[in-house]
Amino acid sequence: MSFFDDLKTSLEEAVDIKNGTKAPAKVTRYEIADVRAIREQLNVSQGEMAKALGTSIDTIKSWEAKRRNPTGLAAKVLATI
């Protein structure tokens, strides 16, 4: 099976899930992390945490102020700490 065929199959499955004709195989949900508490527990600065997560200090500040929530890989990493 080619990459194109895999992609086509995945897109068809996504449409079926969206239309309700098929259930998703697996849904993973992460609790929203308390970024400030995690950072203080690790005893690191906002700059150090931003560097470790590959994001900006402003993003860390937004997460700590609850204006935004971590997503993607950052959410997964914070959930495992």
The tens-digit pLDDT sequence of the chain (81 residues) is 688 888 888 899 999 999 999 988 887 777 788 999 999 999 999 999 999 999 999 999 999 999 999 988 888 888 888
Domain ranges of the chain: 3-80
pLDDT of residue 79: 85
Q: Show Cβ contacts of residue 38 under 8 Å, excluding neighbours closer than 6 positions.
A: 78, 81
pLDDT of residue 17: 92
**DSSP percent split of the chain into helix, strand, coil, nearest 5:** 60, 0, 40
Phi, psi (degrees; rounded to nearest 5) at 25? -65, -40
Q: Are 66 and 26 in contact (CB under 8 A)?
A: no
pLDDT of residue 51: 95
What's the topology of domain 3-80? Answer: 434 Repressor (Amino-terminal Domain) (1.10.260)
